Every structure is written in structure tokens, then in C-alpha cells.
Amino acid sequence: MGVPQWMSVDVKEYIRSNKQLQIIDVRQPGEYMSGHIPGAKLIPLNELPGRFKEIDPNKESVIVCHSGGRSSMACEFLQGQGYGKIHNLLGGMSMWDGEVE
């Protein structure tokens, strides 16, 4: 099963429409601190196997990293755990053109 890809415009539109969206950032803490999408929860990829239950499987989620590689791996892992509402941010933060905290 392929990982659904969202572009930054898709994420921004979803947020604008006031729909609940979990944004999970799988980068390392230093990367996260240098700038992240407002409201994003940090769960580094290496911690995901022990922390994935912090993600609500009933809510739409977008997974973010720097360029899309780690987030794609995280999406595949989450799909393997039965998560179906998972999307990879295409190009990651390097392609994000929205607000940053």
C-alpha cells in the first residue's frame, strides 16, 4: 500500500478549513527547534516504535521531516500498525511554505 502524499498547500487548506489534523514531526529535536509547523508534535523517527500510540488513529495525520524520506518511513511504519489516516508531507520542511514556529 502506497503512502498518500500531501503537498504543503493541501496541509494549509486542511488547517484553514478548521478540520482536526495531527501534525507529527519525526525529525531530531535540534531540527524541530530550528523551525516547525505550528502545533506539530515532535516524535523523532527513532522513538516512533515506542511512542506511536501517542498518535490518535481516528484523526487525519500528516507526518513531516526535512525532505520527506524519514516521514515516508514513519508513514509505512504507522500503516503497518493499522493507521489508515496517515499522509506524508511531500518534500518535508524543505518544501513547506506556510507558517513556522
User: Mind telling me the catalytic residues?
Assistant: 65
Q: Distance from first CA to last CA of the chain, Å, rounded?
A: 33
Nearest partner of 77 among 44, 52, 41, judged by Cα: 52
Instruction: Give me the torsion for CA of 17, 91, 25, 12, rounded to 10°.
Output: -10
Task: Enumerate the β-bridge partners of residue 97.
Answer: none
